[in-house]
Structure 1
Amino acid sequence: MALPDKNRSWRKTIAPYERPSVARSVWQLFNTIAPLLLLWYGAYWSLSVTYWLTLFLTVITAGLLVRVFIIFHDCCHGSFFNNRMANEVVGTISGILTYCPFYQWRFSHSVHHATNGNLDRRGTGDVWTLTVQEYLALPPLKRLGYRLYRNPLILFGLGPAYVFLIEYRFNRKEAKMKERLNTYTINVGIAALAGLLCWAVGWKAFLLIQGPTFLLSGLAGFWLFYVQHQFEHTYFEKDENWDYVNAALHGSSFYKLPKILHWFTGNIGFHHIHHLSPRVPNYYLERAHDDNAMFQIAPPVTLLSSLRSFRFRIWDEHRKQLMGFSYIKRFQMSRNNPSNVLKPK
């Protein structure tokens, strides 16, 4: 269901939530960074007790690192502080902690927001998604490449390690000097912080703590981004039919999580609100959703139902929904036999 024309006053409705609070932003920095540092030290201390305790603490530490990434994310949108310089400084520091280049990521993510769900403008800052027809037009080797990319073991296993450790260390070809220098600054910051911690606790202890923390936070980050756009009845349209509001409210999920997980993930589960207006700070997303019925039409996804996203691989323009690879054979049969109408199972 599209947002009714009479409710196209959404810009005026959402405007009050777009004003960041310095007090709330500073408090969020404190209640995220302080426990992150304490838990990292606690994980180091626990190495002398049992590594099982260390692993338990790294799970919580990874959750806090996801929360740091949400702060980084808000800074990229200029929504964490009113002051541009404050967003850039905090964004760069949080980028060092999360291994993300601030200017580079800000660019690709802004493209993602401007093109989410647009079939003619895919390819920057999104999950590689093909239509059935595009997949069938590929040569066998490229089909295999797409299948491997969409395999959960690669997408959520190798994917985070490759992106955060390798891809983000290099500038894009079109990057200007300011963006390039920021990437170099963050790379040096990451190396300096890792070196300092190795000097302080030893390289083995560093890897035993930072290794699982990095892998778990990266996996969680990838999963959140994936499930927020890769659900069954998401939104994809050709450029001439694409609509920003419908892409936000129907192409971005409302990931209905337990309160504690909304806290660790900085309310990013209210992703439809975020896509409608990326200027809303993370701590106002839930309020904007709860206060306004017009924003509550986004399809809710629960922890349990989100697991179904593992099987969604390819977009069918006929049915307007994501399907699994097993659907391709049915699609081919329907083309060979027009009387075989494609119906939901």
Structure 2
Amino acid sequence: MTNIKTLKKEVAPYEKSTTKESVWQLINTLGPFFLLWFLAYESLSVSYWLALVPIILAAGFLTRIFIIFHDCTHYSFFKSRKVNRAVGTAMGIMTLFPFDQWGHDHAVHHATSGNLDKRGTGDIWTMTVDEYRAAPLKTRLAYRFYRNPFVMFILGPIYVFLLKNRFNRKNARKKERNNTYFVNLVLVVLVTLFCLTLGWLPFLLVQGSIFMISGAFGIWLFYVQHTFEDSYFEEDKEWEYVLAAVEGSSFYKLPKAIQFLTGNIGYHHVHHLSPRVPNYKLEEAHNNTKPLQNVPTISLMTSLSSIKFKLWDEERKNFVTFKAAKVQKSARITPQAKPEL
């Protein structure tokens, strides 16, 4: 890729947020979400299946709310850090994420994405072929369980959003711990109020369904944007931030409606190159920066193949399936020569 060293400078002009655009995005995201939530609740009196239509649409808008939260943790959505914190905390309550805790882990993810020696924080558990082969049976079984699509996209949101996010990480600072406690307290109060006023079953049917759909979709987005065949992983001594951003983060080319609901996060290569670019400027930065148009591109259909990729092959520099890794191992084992008589 040409001009690799100047890419960050070329994207820098798009790093400034626009208050008008940020406020408008809040309006065109929160407004439809609350309206769809109300329609889903009212539809329950007829049928859950009828309510499922606004529920699915609301799940899309909740994904968009998460992208706003995500931008706020990068302090890229508004010019003021205080406003980013306030709005981000509110959006975090809606998406079940503590602002400071997730902001810390996600910052580590950006600083270490694609670095084989610094895996484990804010990323998806990824093993290399050699690590998997050398691992004890219990570790291999745990990894296969973790990488199972049902576990990752169905059980994953329940574990991460409902359970993991409720507890502080080890060595968290006081400010971060207090933010987690505050988010948890507000959630308890809000859920209690909704259950008392609307009834626990209608609330669970609507909010629970929205949560599961948006949660599965959100994890899928995060997964597919770094797990594609020719991604980027290097040991620390060879790792480069810009290469990790533009080669290890996909350009997920989505239909316009889905692109809107996902807050342009499909332009993930631009976001990793410069996290300070607000989501509503990612497409513009991509279109006006020629080298970025040659990054790994996946579509909605081709992205489905990412489900099969499980292990990173350090020799071939690509993701492979469990089956392919097994075949490669067998191919490397050559039979011993028969002794001469």
Shorter-chain TM-score category?
over 0.9
TM-score scaled to structure 1, two decimals?
0.95
Partner of residue 248 from structure 1, selected from 245, 249, 252: 245
State percent identity of aligned pairs.
Answer: 54
Paired position in structure 1 for 2:108? 111
Give the SS at the match of 1:301. Answer: strand
1:173 aligns with 2:173: no
Give the SS at the match of 1:286. Answer: helix
Displacement of 1:7:
5.0
Paired position in structure 1 for 2:86? 89
Q: CA RMSD, aligned part only?
A: 1.2
Give the SS at the match of 2:319. Answer: strand
- Alignment gaps of 5+ in structure 1: 340-345
Paired position in structure 1 for 2:255? 258
CA separation of 1:338 and 1:292: change in aligned 2, threshold 3 A:
farther
After superposition, the C-alpha distances for 1:17-73 in whole angstroms (9 at most, x for unaligned) are: 000000000010111111111111111111112211111111001001000000000
TM-score scaled to structure 2, two decimals?
0.97
Partner of residue 236 from structure 2, selected from 239, 242, 245: 239
CA distance in 2, matches of 1:279, 1:81: 10
1:77 aligns with 2:77: no
CA distance in 2, matches of 1:127, 1:269: 18
Q: Write the mapping of 1:266-305 to structure 2, written as runs, cut at 5 A.
A: 266-305=263-302
Paired position in structure 1 for 2:147? 150
Displacement of 1:234:
0.3
1:326 aligns with 2:323: yes
Partner of residue 22 from structure 2, selected from 20, 25, 47: 25
Displacement of 1:11:
2.6
After superposition, the C-alpha distances for 1:297-345 in whole angstroms (9 at most, x for unaligned) are: 2111101000000100001111110000001222222331299xxxxxx
CA contact (8 A) 1:36 1:61 kept: yes
CA distance in 2, matches of 1:198, 1:13: 50
Give the SS at the match of 1:144. Answer: helix
Following superposition, which runs of at least 4 residues in structure 1 exceed 6 angstroms of deviation? none
**Count of paired positions:** 336
CA distance in 1, matches of 2:256, 2:168: 37
Paired position in structure 2 for 1:8? 5
CA separation of 1:278 and 1:321: change in aligned 2, threshold 3 A:
same
**AA matched with 2:137:** P
CA contact (8 A) 1:249 1:297 kept: no
Paired position in structure 1 for 2:99? 102
Paired position in structure 2 for 1:342? none
CA contact (8 A) 2:101 2:176 kept: yes
After superposition, the C-alpha distances for 1:199-242 in whole angstroms (9 at most, x for unaligned) are: 22111110110111000010010000000000000000011111
CA contact (8 A) 2:4 2:242 kept: no
CA contact (8 A) 2:113 2:244 kept: yes
